[in-house]
Every structure is written in C-alpha cells, then in structure tokens.
C-alpha cells in the first residue's frame, strides 16, 4: 500500500505526494489543469480508484491516475466556484457539488451532466458577500439523507435524496458553517464547526448544542473521526481565518471531551484533516497557510513535513 496525498491550494493547483508526504510534485498546466488554479474541494471514492475530482474556481476537473492527466468536465458550474464535493457511498458516479454563490448540484453520471437541486439559500451575507456551500454530509448508512452547510446561511437537511429540504437552525446561533461531520456509536451524532465554535446535534440537526472548548479560541474548521471509527476525533481550532496560530484537539470519547493533540508550531489556523480506512494510523493535517503535519500512530505524535505550500483549502489521501 502506497499512501498518495493530494492537496488543493488557493492559487497553486493540486500538489501530489506519492509516498505519504516526503516527496511532492505538481503537474504542469499541460496536464489539463491550470497550475495556478484555486482548488477548493477534492473528492475520491474507493469504488473508483483511478479518479480524483477537484472543485475549482473554473468548474470541476477529474484526475486520472492511469493517464496522469486532468480532464475538464464542462457544465454550468464553470461559471461558479465549486466549494464542496461529495460522492455517494453506494455509487461513486453520483456526485454532489456545492458552489459559491450558494447553490447545490447533482450528477448521476460521474460529472458528465449536472442538475441543479431545488434548495434555496440566501443571496447575500456579511463577510463573504455571497454565501457558499462549504460542506456536504451524506450518511453512508442511510441513502437519501444529507446535510448541507453554508457559509453564511446555516444548515439544510434532506431525507428524500434532495427532493425536499428543511432548515436545521435551532440552537445554532451563527450561520457561518465551515464543516459538517457525523459519527455512529449507538446513534447518529452530528458535528458542525463554525466561526464561534463547535456545535453538536444528537437529533439529526433538529437542535444543536454549543460545546465550549477549553481553548484560547473558539474558531473551528473541521471535526473528523479517525477512519477506524472507534470514537477518536480530531478538531481543527485556531485564532481565525487565516489566523496566526492554532491547535489540533483530540477526543477519545466520540466528542464528549477534548484534549490538546500536541501539534505545535502552526503558522495559522489548522484547516483540514485527512484519514483513510486503508491505514487509520496515517493522519495528515494542514494549516491554512501551507504547513503539513503527519502522524503515523493514529494521532499520538506528529511530525512537521519539510514541504510548505501556499494557502491550502482541501486535502485527502488514499492508497494507490
């Protein structure tokens, strides 16, 4: 098993590491993706081992490992920024895309054609002017159930595959949603990361509880369960966007309590966490301003990698 890491940046396209983070490369524009693209989102699926999808400021691109080439998937999304991507667990050809300005699209043919999903979002907001869909959360155990997080317009939920939607705002006193995730340990538990901290729901988003962190800051970007699904979670926490420092918090009890994971030296708020069931002990996290940290023991200890990139927006790793 060779862990291959993919990092999407805001202005430096996608960088690849073929060996878990020691060596890095960036394909030139001749590979099909302009090498100074802004890449907001990445998605890969174990049922489609040759492909990685990238959501960019110019639509969606698909990477082929075999051909080592990006292919543009032309659609009306080309005029939008694609901020989030997710593939259905049971069918990798079914792809959801969230955009800025905020809209939601669905493809059932691996990105060849797209349909706009009938869900309404605010047209304007403070800070980012036009809201954007920053998180798409599909429950692999319950097809048709999905949550959408919007910066700055709260959370929406569907239980029928996107035909109807409802707002999930009770107790969520900020509309600035950065990330959504879930765990299943007896029952479903949702986590929402925001500009004002971590929110938790144990009733599918009908209501949310603010979980105050023992930290100098409440700003959070993502809560991610380790891929072995044993209730170990990692939470990125810092002093703002992009910020000047931050920390990774770790929970060993499905988010009931948090401790400092011991990662030091962040130059900005930590932004993303990548984990994969192929090796749950390999975890990669990044700061917003380009630092990359790796753990090979499930998050007990961390090493800062030599490579630093520009502004990082998305990351994933998978076996190739």
pLDDT tens digits, one per residue of 95-140: 999 999 999 999 999 999 999 999 999 999 888 899 999 999 999 9
pLDDT score for 29: 87
pLDDT score for 259: 97
For 225, residues 6+ apart whose C-beta sits below 8 A from its C-beta are 181, 183, 231, 232, 233, 275
The whole model's pTM is what? 0.96
For 216, residues 6+ apart whose C-beta sits below 8 A from its C-beta are 239
Contact 265, 237 (CB under 8 A): no
Contact 64, 54 (CB under 8 A): no
Q: Which two tokens stand for residue 201?
A: 């729901």
For 142, residues 6+ apart whose C-beta sits below 8 A from its C-beta are none
Contact 146, 133 (CB under 8 A): no
pLDDT score for 127: 84
pLDDT score for 91: 95
User: 198 - beta bridge partners?
Assistant: 193, 211
Say how far apart CA 84 and CA 24 lie, in whole Å. Answer: 24
For 30, residues 6+ apart whose C-beta sits below 8 A from its C-beta are none
**Burial per residue of 39-57, b for 16 or more beta-carbon CB atoms within 10 angstroms, e otherwise:** bbbbbbbeebeebbbbbbb
Long-range CB contact pairs, 165-173, < 8 A, 24+: 165/118, 165/119, 168/201, 168/204, 168/205, 168/206, 168/208, 170/206, 170/207, 170/208, 171/199, 171/201, 171/207, 171/208, 171/209, 171/210, 172/199, 172/208, 173/210
Q: Which two tokens stand for residue 208?
A: 């949310």
Per-residue pLDDT of the chain (320 residues; tens, 9 = 90+): 789 999 999 999 999 999 999 999 998 888 999 999 999 999 999 999 999 999 999 999 999 999 999 999 999 999 999 999 999 999 999 999 999 999 999 999 999 999 999 999 999 988 889 999 999 999 999 999 999 999 999 999 999 999 999 999 999 999 999 999 999 999 999 999 999 999 999 999 999 999 999 999 999 999 999 999 999 999 999 999 999 999 999 999 999 999 999 999 999 999 999 999 999 999 999 999 999 999 999 999 999 999 999 999 999 999 98
């Amino acid at each position: 098993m060779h862990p291959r890491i993919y990092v999407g940046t805001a202005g430096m396209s996608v960088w690849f590491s073929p060996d878990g983070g020691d060596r890095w490369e960036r394909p030139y524009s001749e590979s099909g993706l302009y090498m100074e693209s802004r890449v907001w989102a990445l998605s890969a699926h174990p049922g489609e081992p040759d492909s990685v999808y990238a959501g960019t400021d110019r639509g969606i691109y698909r990477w082929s490992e075999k051909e080592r080439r990006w292919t543009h998937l032309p659609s009306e999304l080309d005029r939008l920024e694609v901020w989030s991507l997710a593939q259905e667990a049971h069918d990798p050809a079914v792809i959801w895309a969230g955009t800025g300005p905020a809209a939601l699209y669905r493809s059932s043919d691996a990105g060849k054609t797209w349909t706009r999903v009938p869900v309404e979002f605010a047209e304007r907001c403070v800070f980012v002017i036009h809201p954007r869909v920053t998180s798409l959360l599909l429950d692999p155990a319950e097809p048709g159930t999905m949550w959408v997080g919007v910066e700055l317009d709260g959370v929406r939920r569907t239980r029928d595959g996107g035909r109807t939607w409802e707002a999930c705002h009770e107790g969520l006193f900020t509309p600035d949603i950065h990330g959504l995730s879930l765990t299943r340990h007896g029952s479903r538990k949702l986590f929402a990361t925001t500009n004002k901290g971590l929110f938790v729901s144990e009733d599918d988003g009908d209501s949310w509880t603010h979980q105050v962190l023992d930290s100098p800051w409440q700003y959070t970007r993502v809560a991610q369960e380790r891929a072995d699904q044993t209730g170990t979670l990692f939470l990125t926490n810092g002093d703002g966007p992009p910020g000047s420092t931050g920390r990774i918090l770790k929970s060993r009890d499905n988010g009931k309590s948090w401790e400092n994971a011991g990662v030091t030296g962040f130059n900005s708020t930590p932004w993303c966490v990548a984990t994969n069931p192929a090796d749950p002990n390999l975890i990669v996290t990044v700061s917003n301003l380009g630092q990359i940290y790796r753990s090979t023991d499930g998050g007990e200890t961390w090493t800062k990698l030599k490579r630093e990139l520009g502004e990082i927006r998305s990351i994933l790793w998978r076996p190739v």
